Amino acid sequence: MRIDRIELRQFKMPLVAPFETSFGVETEEEHVIVRVDAEGLTGWGESPAGANPFYSYETNQTVWHILRDFLIPNVLGQDVKDIDDLLARGAQVRGHNMAKAGLEFAMWDVFAQARGISLSKMLGGTRDKIAVGVSIGIQSSPDALVKKIDSYLRDGYQRIKIKIAPGRDIQYTSAARKAFPNILLQVDANSAYTLADVDLLRALDEYNLLLIEQPLGYEDIYDHSKLQPQLKTPICLDESIHSAADAREGIELGACRIINIKPGRVGGFAESIKIHDLCAAHKLPVWHGGMLESGIGRAANVALAALPNFTLPGDISANKRYFHEDIVAPEFAVDAEGMLTVPTKPGIGVEVLLDRLERVTTRREEFKA
């Protein structure tokens, strides 16, 4: 495909409610959107890096810099044969996975449209619906958390994830479990603990959790391998897994029993599929994480989550759980069984609402061949 034009935009959209984690509070999302025009087709991708480097070192500004100054010049006006060709052109850039992913997602959308098939089909998706949960930020009190969970369960979500942090962990987890003895419940620490907290982390074993996500250092695998044998609850790595090589290390060292795949974090879909397949070969379940994406990133996430080894519900909730007015149509909605329907139209399968995108755009740059 000849790449005729690329456009970068940054959007800013307020969240319907503040989202608090162990690393901070978010009230709005500002992500970079990549639009690729190639041979009459238009592909879209969303790089999920936010305004600050608190989840990972990438920010929307580093994403813009890497795309504008390194990744886009390697493809603009050129014939990119396939995804392998695209990846080879960007391979010189170390790290910056979310920047690479933004462009990769848009190219997958273009290639899927060129073949007249859905993105999900092109990625190897085998399901027409995906199981979804919801990720709930730290609330003002355990009671407030119980109310929040109740309302999301009424919306149909089939799994609840709660954020924890030192001092806001056992009380909240125990209140959630007491109020809802039978739900699928998991916790996410976003790297807030160390091995010195092993007693506290062991205390979480009492609450019959599906998993505990990323308790230790944000790039650590070794300490997690020391922790996992001391817990009954499976550890799921998020922040520490940037590649299939990291996943192999985590699995072989026994650092985790589950892996969360966020395609942005690992540099795109190609690497995500490698991790998915590696985990399947080792009989580890995977599930799809989320980064509070707009409808563009959400559609891409839904497509990937349809692959067979995504056997646990994902952090891919309905658009309206995040934003009052999203930038795509149709929006994803949770059905009575706690599922989202995978689009079947060619490419990402949702329409980008250009007027809405224009209204929330805070930065724009065009690159022409």
* Nearest residue to ligand OSB, by Cβ distance, number only: 290
Distances (CA, A) of 299 to 120, 280, 332, 340: 9, 23, 8, 10
Encoded one letter per residue, x for contact with ligand OSB by CB under 6 A and - for no contact, window 254-283 reads ------------------------------
Q: Is 163 a catalytic residue?
A: yes
29 sits near Mg ion (criterion: CB under 5 A): no
Binders in 110-149 for ligand OSB, by CB under 6 A: 135
3-class secondary structure for 102-121? HHHHHHHHHHHHHHCCEHHH
DSSP state of 283: T
Three-state DSSP class for residue 76? coil
Of 30, 2, 8, the closest CA to residue 292 belongs to: 30
Spatial separation of the C-alpha atoms in residues 224 and 127, rounded to whole Å: 32
What is the separation of C-alpha 7 from the centre of its chain, rounded to a whole number of angstroms?
23
Size of the site for Mg ion (CB under 5 A): 3
Examine the residue annotation and report whether 262 is marked as an active-site residue of this protein: yes
Rule CB under 5 A: choose which of 30, 109, 188, 271 binds Mg ion.
Answer: 188
Size of site (CB under 6 A) for ligand OSB:
11
Query: Which residues, including other chains, have CB under 8 Å from residue 10's CB and lie 6 or more apart?
Result: 30, 31, 32, 33, 60, 64, 361, 362, 363, 364
Binders of Mg ion in range 202-221 (CB under 5 A)? 213
Contact 249, 221 (CB under 8 A): yes
10, 120, 190, 319: which one contacts ligand OSB (CB under 6 A)? 190
Contacts of ligand OSB in 47-66 (CB under 6 A): 55
Asked if residue 12 lies in contact with residue 28, where contact means CB atoms within 8 angstroms, the answer is yes
188, 220, 271, 326: residue in contact with ligand OSB (rule CB under 6 A): 188
Contact between 238 and Mg ion by CB under 5 A: the answer reads: yes
In the set 291, 303, 327, 360, which binds ligand OSB (CB under 6 A)? 291
Options 182-190, 204-212, 294-302, 348-356: segment touching Mg ion (CB under 5 A): 182-190
| Residue positions annotated with a catalytic role | 163, 262
Q: Which residues bind ligand OSB (CB under 6 A)?
A: 55, 135, 188, 190, 238, 289-292, 315, 317
Would you tell me which residues interact with Mg ion (CB under 5 A)?
A: 188, 213, 238
